[in-house]
Amino acid sequence: MSNLSKRILTSLIIFPLSIFFIFKGGNLLLLFLFGVFVVANYELFLVFNKKIMILCLDTVLILSLFSVYYLRESGEVSFKLLIWVIILCICSDIGGYVFGKIFKWKKITEISPNKTLSGVLGSFIFSLFSLFIVENVSFTSSAFIQFLELKFFFLAIIFSLVAQIGDLTISFFKRLEAVKDMGKILPGHGGIFDRIDGLMFVVILTFILYKFNFIYFPPPK
């Protein structure tokens, strides 16, 4: 089985499973997030020897898991934002992969040799698709968010950029230890960190923007 086939098959399993626990929320979500934390830390201690590197990555992981739980449990608006950024990160990854494979423009960094300008452009374009997905699919009963407003188009580009920076950040840490993947638990992807690298940074940013009211949501009319 090719690596792409493994990647697709794994995604078809882990995405519905993750969404199931997020929709359930409460103690089931806490149990799921704790499982992610345990497995991810197992990977960290296998790959890294320096405690400062483990501490840095663990801090990002803990903040991201907390952000997921907070956004899920703080009401329908934050819940829908959470679903959106998850879908956005997936779309951004797909766009980067597809455009990178098809156009093969100039590589942008030695930290991650597969990162190209065409991949960056593809990530930006595909991230916009997430707006149309969440706008037309009702994930919650009455969350009042107009995702096709201009501000969300800007946010989609910013979040896609943050996701790619997050990806490069994790790649930088892996490069310091001369490893390609953080683990092997997810065939075609690698480890937990390899799958959620960009999402961790985006969900933390989403928490900050929501918690401190940087995104204004008018009440329903």
Stretch 103-107: mean pLDDT: 82
Residue 88 — pLDDT band, cuts 50, 70, 90? very high
How far apart, in Å, are the Cα atoms of 21 and each of 16, 31, 221?
A: 9, 9, 32
List pLDDT tens digits, range 12-21.
889 899 999 9
User: Residue type for 217, please?
Assistant: F
Residue 221 confidence (pLDDT) above 80: no
Structure tokens at 49: 């020897």
Q: What is the mean pLDDT of the chain?
A: 88
Give the end-to-end CA distance of the chain in Å, rounded to a whole number.
53
The answer to whether 208 and 214 have CB atoms below 8 angstroms apart is yes
Task: Report which of residues 100 and 105 the model is more confident about.
Answer: 100
Q: Scanning the structure block, which residue is given the tokens 């096709």?
A: 148
Structure tokens at 71: 């956004």
Domain ranges in the chain?
A: 3-211
Task: Report which of residues 4 and 44 the model is more confident about.
Answer: 44
Residue 144 — pLDDT band, cuts 50, 70, 90? low
List pLDDT tens digits, range 148-185.
788 899 999 999 999 999 999 998 998 888 888 888 88
User: Residue type for 49, please?
Assistant: N
Q: How far apart are CA 58 and CA 38, in angstroms?
A: 11
- Per-residue model confidence (pLDDT) at position 74: 93
Give the predicted TM-score (pTM) of the model. 0.91
